[in-house]
A and B are shown apart, each in its own frame.
Chain A
């Protein structure tokens, strides 16, 4: 029922792209100009014109996909053709150069084109990989629901900390303030799990450990209770059902859950970011390419 843009119309544009590449390559091999293959031969001009037209048409996708009322094919068809003919452009344009590269404007245009195509390939890769990952990661939840839960857990943690002691309360408050969601583009894209709040949680655990052992020591003097306190990185396990200790345990549970969900949100943001970030290279590079291409054509015709 659902058909991906890659398989659109039974791979129609893949076939077209392969045909274009094969025909271009065959002509290139067959053609044997006197001064060697270059952009100035009739085949060079033909491939160059074809390449320039292809580039203009490929860039037109940005227009077509926003012409929502347009009935000229579907956007899926356009994207399919964009992908495959864009890849074929690499062959056409490379053959157009006749492998003559140098430190000049012409090679700059070529390099920009290669970069645009490379970023496009990156785009195809993330488009095939991330959509499913995002769905799996969400596992039926929504970002809004997560954010609501984070806020609610925060409030509960602050209220609970208030009942424990002023310094813990202060600590939880600060931790809540510094809880990090989203952030700059770099933070979004390169989020590695954990957070400032997470490291703070470690510090809080440390404080609590001190508190507990202190109170434990005091208590031990009086009641000789057999408390076993296990403190790991993020978790605290206590053996005795002392209300004060229960509260501490609850607080740590709340904060752990909060940080866990905040981490999920950040991962969700990250995946969404990575799904789109290639466009931030692809599109500006395309603009640069169009400028360089125009300069290349003008230069060729004016200063030949």
Chain B
């Protein structure tokens, strides 16, 4: 018998379930069809206990069903509860095998149990996970090959091969390695596709021998065996084929749109790329009228977006117009600029005026602006000042921004007009602002936080190109040629390119021909020289300085090797172009020669004082090459009283962030385990709520929005982040001192509620305390000081 409904919803994932819930809420005639015997198969198949995020955080949820970040189990139970309350009807185990027809008259063929369903409208919410990418070789469906992992504890003492080095593969491998022998197959030579925290965790596990990895490897064949091991794999690697026996293969290779099925319903795809998704209208309607596509299949992979679309699509089908959920938020952002019109008009206005934002898709632009702020400073207002430690990015939409390019002469100004941007220097180098910028007349700018801008730079190639080119041009201007007209630089700018170096990699070695100059834009380098068979570090150059000028001036060979102290990016300026510039512009030559002479002198001094070089090289080994502020203890003054630790704990909710004794010592100079406030903080890389920030003073701190996920703790290579429970309670000093009651301030460990959540704690340099870091102020003997990179040389000399 053929049923008939107004809306047939195919798939009960976040989008389909939300659509059905809204239809049920409105009392519409609908049918929810799910191929599996349970709802939301993709989330159901998540690894047990997986933490599910609710990004983007600012977007309000628009669904009758509840959803917030949490464990897989909690989310599924919320949905089941919501569905039960709405008396939601779903046909389980009813895969749809074909969709035919048009608006008002669709026929859906159901696979198992047979039968058909008539529907006026179809909402296709099948996602991608129903079409998992398989191994694509003989034996891909062998019994020992699987494509999901529900409960890692189900397997013990097995030899397991994980195929795929993305987040899913890594997370599975990490969960399994405790009780099994795990090998992970990576078709690359690095784990580049994974999140930072997963990357760090997998590298650590490999280093500890907890799992193995085959790099540049792929499966050629899978054969089942009788008994154990249960199967044999033929694996292709760089060095030929190898045969590996195992009990289980778990392939996590992602998923593809189920193209054949979707195309059979008449839907067209914009490109032949197997990853491409069908195009939909602003009301989510496909090219087939009455056939709507929402969720991952429409290119919206985030759960919250998908749930909102489920709600919205029902509204659209009912003939009501709903504006996207983020529109009220965007409208709020645009209140300062009523002349731009309503949200859509304003978005187009921005796109038309700011070239760096024009390559963005409408969705990307909306997301970008949700993270950003529109600023309308009055003429003469300071947008940021030289030496501020802020790292946001600004795009000029209207009016003028004035850049004071000289630190001494405020009348030297460069004007930036509509469509230009600034702030990219600090964004890329992680260092202080290099100039003061004031608002000119009629100035309207978009201020974008570091994370959103980095995301954009990394995902849109055109944005990256424009930002990089501008960075190069401005860096050259700022370093050598503030008086030189931009046209004279065209030559050198066009040949300049960005080079990257791994820690300890040589930029150039002694005896190389000096054919270029490196302007350091990120990280820092060390200049050394071999003296008596040992490498003595002569100098250290942080981002913002350049190296390699010596050989260019003396037109000879490199006299000293230069090595990256941390991961380094430089702008490589070609020697010929630079020589030509120096010949044309005597002021450039003068400036470079001055630096050259200073360096020669400093090197000669350093070579005589080898111990100083050793101190610098010790400090660089401790990672201070990427630091902006380090706690250094002079052990000849330190009386081991731990006042610094107590002060830290007492002023920071009874959770200390400093371990005085841990950490290496070199000639009485001790680097305790304490935050260095890195130029590019490792902790910031993968913070789900974006809770780690840098204040204008340079302090990297964690805001209250921390969710306690521990990513920063894992990402910090210096081990300076602790997970702890902070409390406002403080012990009484007088009670302790006079009567011995309670505990000493600084050593207080209050009792906590059992369910109190641990959050990340790190040094914030006591930015909220007047007078500066408590550890230094509490040191009775003067042993503890905090120093910045500029001061390292002075430390080395004392």
Interface membership of B638, Cβ < 8 A? yes
B781 and A132 within 8 A (CB): no
**CB of A76 within 8 A of chain B?**
yes
Task: State whether B746 touches A66 (Cβ < 8 A).
Answer: yes
- CB <8 Å contact, B639 and A275: yes
A7 / chain B contacts, CB cutoff of 8 Å = 782
Given A1-B785, A66-B733, the answer on whether A140 and B638 have CB atoms closer than 8 Å is no
Q: List B residues 653-697 near A (Cβ within 8 Å).
A: 661-662, 664-665, 668, 670
Known: A62-B737, A69-B651, A76-B780. A132 touches B636 (CB 8 A): yes
Q: Which of B639, B668, B782 contacts A3 (CB 8 A)?
A: B782
Q: At the interface, yes or no: A249 with Cβ under 8 Å from chain B?
A: no
What's the Cα separation between A4 and B634 when bound, in Å?
A: 10
Do residues A2 and B798 form an inter-chain contact, with CB atoms below 8 A?
yes
Question: Does B771 lie at the interface of the complex (its beta carbon under 8 Å from any beta carbon of A)?
Answer: yes
Q: Is B479 located at the chain interface by the 8 A CB criterion?
A: no
- State which of A69, A272, A276 has its C-beta within 8 Å of the C-beta of B769: A69
Q: For chain A, which range describes its interface: under 10, 10 to 19, 20 to 34, or 35 or more residues?
A: 20 to 34
A135–B779 Cα distance when bound, in Å, is 18
Q: Looking at chain B's contact residues, is the secondary structure mostly helix, strand, loop, or mixed?
A: loop
A42 at the interface (CB under 8 A from B): no
- Shortest Cβ distance from residue A104 to the other chain B in the assembled complex, whole angstroms: 29
Task: Convert A111-143 into 0s and 1s, putting 1 for each residue whose CB lies closer than 8 angstroms to a CB of B.
Answer: 000000000000000010011101100101010
Q: Is the CB of B636 within 8 A of A76?
A: no
**A1: contacting residue among B745, B781, B798, CB under 8 A:** B798
The residue in chain A whose Cβ has the minimal distance to the Cβ of B661 is A142
Q: Which residues of B contact A134 (CB under 8 A)?
A: 635, 640
Per the bound structure, the CA–CA distance linking A132 and B637 in Å amounts to 7
User: For A131, what are the chain B residues with a Cβ–Cβ distance below 8 Å?
Assistant: 635-640, 783
The answer, yes or no, to whether B318 is at the interface (CB within 8 Å) is no
Query: Which B residues are in CB contact (< 8 Å) with A4?
Result: 637, 781-782
Report Cα–Cα, A76/B745, bound state, in Å: 19
B-contact 0/1 string along A134-154, CB 8 Å cutoff = 110010101000000000000
Question: Is B647's CB within 8 Å of the partner chain A?
Answer: yes
Tell me, yes or no, whether A31 is within 8 Å of chain B by CB. no
Binds A, one of B34-42, B112-120, B470-478, B787-795: B787-795
Measured in the bound complex, the distance between the Cα atoms of B638 and A4 in whole Å is 10
A69→B650 contact, CB < 8 A: yes
A62–B745 Cα distance when bound, in Å, is: 12
Is residue A232 within 8 Å, beta carbon to beta carbon, of the partner chain? no
| Cα distance A79–B665 in the bound complex, in angstroms | 26
Is B204 engaged at the interface, CB distance under 8 Å to the other chain?
A: no
Within 8 Å of chain A (Cβ to Cβ): is B777? Answer: yes
> With an 8 A cutoff between CB atoms, is B603 at the interface?
no
B-side contacts of A132, CB under 8 Å: 635-636, 668
B621-651 Cβ-contact flags toward A at 8 Å (1 or 0)? 0000000000010111111110100110011
* 17 A–B contacts, CB within 8 A, in A order: A1-B794, A2-B634, A5-B780, A8-B782, A63-B733, A66-B737, A67-B733, A74-B771, A75-B779, A131-B639, A131-B640, A135-B670, A138-B665, A140-B664, A142-B662, A272-B640, A275-B640
Binding site for B on A (CB under 8 A): 1-5, 7-8, 62-63, 65-69, 71, 74-76, 78-79, 127, 130-132, 134-135, 138, 140, 142, 272, 275-276
Query: Top 8 closest A-B pairs, CB basis?
Result: A2-B634, A68-B647, A71-B771, A68-B650, A135-B635, A132-B636, A79-B780, A1-B795
